[in-house]
Chain A
């Protein structure tokens, strides 16, 4: 094979003019992540999903800065008027304010609430998933790699925890620990959400540890710890990433659910769930906007994440790597 160094400035050779050399150099420079990225870009729904999700993240990060109203600002209490005002574009008052209407009782701006809610909902979703993935990957990785009795014991622990009705446990914990602090909710979801990941990672490790490159690594003198983290885990990363992505969506929905039931995050720190919860008794007075917009935010975010997860699954699946 003729060597071509395209980085240098030189007169083009015949091979380059024919385009052969370019093609080869380009092929060689791709690693598995670059290949996956190419495939991901071709997946239209996945790109739409990522735009939705990343857009929501930007709203969560930048929203409170750009839109500087504090949701806690209690406007002049119009004691007699309990109902909130509808969105300006519904009432025909085309002012730039009240984009999503106003809540009843404290007359807060729904838009401000939704933006601030985005921040906590996403932090809880992503943060607890990170905790779950770290615990689950280590637990499942150790069980799957060593196998035998250790594996049996560790996986029976997972089985027994899966038999516990986690939702009730979460309700109890979040009621009695931390009293509605979002950190507590994040930790609870993180520490109870790793079971599925552990099972996934264990099954991946069970098959990967039989690969010859693991024997080869051991024959070179690599320690078990290093084999687990540096040799096997990167090979198992694709399914873990997909599962984690979908996990974020799951936690956002669960958090909304728990907060909606009034067991989650304290209403003074808004999440989409507790905004919905507060709106409950006013929806039948006609304040549909109070419930509609946080609900829409949840739907858009979860849909975006799920599309993204599907795209990642297709892009990272080694069986479809052609």
Chain B
């Protein structure tokens, strides 16, 4: 993955990215204007997904990861939301400047989305078949009977037994795991180039989580669909993707491959996240949670947004916001500790490097 742009500077590239990049998000900013002020939910985010590639956006609640996903699809309610700046290049087009009629063809057709709550993301009054067929009929040139065949076939693909009977059933007749399978079937019925999965397993129990992740990976391998996974679960990240973007308070704080980010976490926030996961090796010891909470969106710290919670912070972090610094070992991290002038501090920092518990 290339990280050429940094926070505060202009995008490194102008115009469409090279053709092996499926999705490139540049300088994305989505703000919400509410009564108490402006919430900068996404504040300058850059990342890219290669064709057939797998990228995860990781972060706490309120870090802006879901808003990023919704902004890519332009599903943000405007108002109160507003896409202030940025470009979303998908397959040679900037989705943010596309007319809505063009965008509708891409939604569901070329980019499909799976939502967090399978219990509520299917319409309770329409049958499973109707809902899958609707997607098919919107994006493919088939008759109704053909659409039904495609619906049955995609239900078979996601491992739903007796699909011929399931198409006539209503969502309330299916379990949560089955419904998420239906959502995946719906998402894949039109052979999208990119699948955005917004916390697809959060609402499911652990055994079903595994099945769903395996299913997404297997289908992704088979069809060559790109995957953008939004999650707060680092275990899911480790198993599923190649590249990781860690978000905190609307900004990218660390970026890199799974190995770089999870095994050699460079940013104090990523380290904090990893330390707060229970594991076998830590049995008997207290977990080390990140102290404090996500900053109040109306009163962001003037310097580094993570500074109030950061165990390594010093004066500079209070005063100045660090840029996303590219690292020699690969990837990037938004922390003053990587700045050449902080070399002395980095020595101490590297000694207490935590590794990902397995």
Which residues on A are within 8 Å of B, measured CB to CB? 1, 3, 27-28, 31-32, 148, 211-213, 215-223, 230-231, 234-235, 237
Contact = CB atoms under 8 A, between A and B. Distances in A.
A321 B161 CA distance: 28
B169 interface: yes
Contacts of B126: 230-231, 234
Contacts of B186: 220
B182 to A, nearest CB: 11
Contact of B121 (A148, A216, A235): A216
25 contacts: A1-B161, A3-B161, A3-B162, A28-B173, A32-B170, A212-B117, A212-B120, A213-B121, A213-B122, A216-B115, A216-B121, A216-B183, A217-B134, A218-B107, A219-B107, A219-B112, A219-B115, A221-B104, A221-B106, A221-B139, A222-B108, A234-B123, A235-B124, A235-B125, A237-B125
A213 B73 CA distance: 15
Nearest to A233: B125
A27 to B, nearest CB: 8
Contact of B138 (A3, A148, A220): A220
Nearest to B101: A223
B196 to A, nearest CB: 8
Interface in B144-178: 161-162, 169-170, 173
A240 B138 CA distance: 29
B135 A148 contact: no
A222 B138 contact: yes
A216 B113 contact: yes
A32 to B, nearest CB: 6
A43 to B, nearest CB: 22
A221 B108 contact: yes
A219 B113 contact: yes
Contacts of B135: 220-221
A222 to B, nearest CB: 7
A219 B162 contact: no
Contacts of B287: none
Interface in B80-132: 104-109, 112-113, 115-117, 120-126
A220 B161 CA distance: 24
Given A220-B138, A222-B138, A31 B120 contact: no
| Majority secondary structure of chain B interface residues (helix, strand, loop or mixed) | loop
Contacts of A219: 73, 75, 107-108, 112-113, 115
Most buried by B among A148, A220, A237: A220
Given A222-B138, A235-B123, 11 more contacts: A3-B162, A28-B173, A32-B170, A212-B115, A216-B113, A219-B108, A222-B104, A230-B134, A231-B126, A234-B126, A237-B125
Contacts of A211: 120
A32 B121 CA distance: 18
B161 A217 contact: no
A217 B122 CA distance: 9
Contacts of A235: 123-125
Interface of B: 70, 73, 75, 79, 104-109, 112-113, 115-117, 120-126, 134-135, 138-139, 161-162, 169-170, 173, 183, 186
Most buried by B among A211, A221, A222, A235: A221
A148 B120 CA distance: 25
Most buried by A among B122, B125, B186: B125
A7 to B, nearest CB: 11
B170 A218 contact: no
A156 B291 CA distance: 49
A8 to B, nearest CB: 13
Contacts of B108: 219-222
A216 B112 CA distance: 10
Given A1-B161, A31-B170, A212-B117, A218 B125 contact: no
Contacts of A216: 113, 115, 121-123, 183
Nearest to A209: B77
A234 to B, nearest CB: 4
Closest 7 pairs (CB-CB, A-B) = A220-B108, A221-B108, A221-B107, A219-B113, A234-B125, A212-B120, A213-B123
Given A32-B125, A148-B79, A235-B125, A220 B170 contact: no
A231 B123 contact: yes
B193 to A, nearest CB: 14
A212 B121 contact: yes
B123 A217 contact: yes
B66 to A, nearest CB: 11
A32 B162 CA distance: 22
A234 B124 CA distance: 9
Contacts of B173: 27-28
Contacts of B120: 211-213
Contact of B105 (A27, A217, A221): A221
Nearest to A3: B162
A242 B159 CA distance: 41
Contacts of A212: 115-117, 120-121
Contacts of A217: 123, 134
A182 B348 CA distance: 91
A94 B116 CA distance: 75
Contacts of B79: 148
A28 B115 contact: no
Most buried by B among A215, A216, A217: A216
Most buried by A among B109, B113, B139: B113
Most buried by A among B79, B124, B170: B124
A229 to B, nearest CB: 12
Contacts of B115: 212, 215-216, 219
A216 B107 CA distance: 10
Most buried by B among A27, A28, A213, A218: A213
A151 to B, nearest CB: 12
A156 to B, nearest CB: 19
Nearest to B186: A220
B88 to A, nearest CB: 15
A219 B186 CA distance: 11
A210 B129 CA distance: 23
Nearest to B113: A219
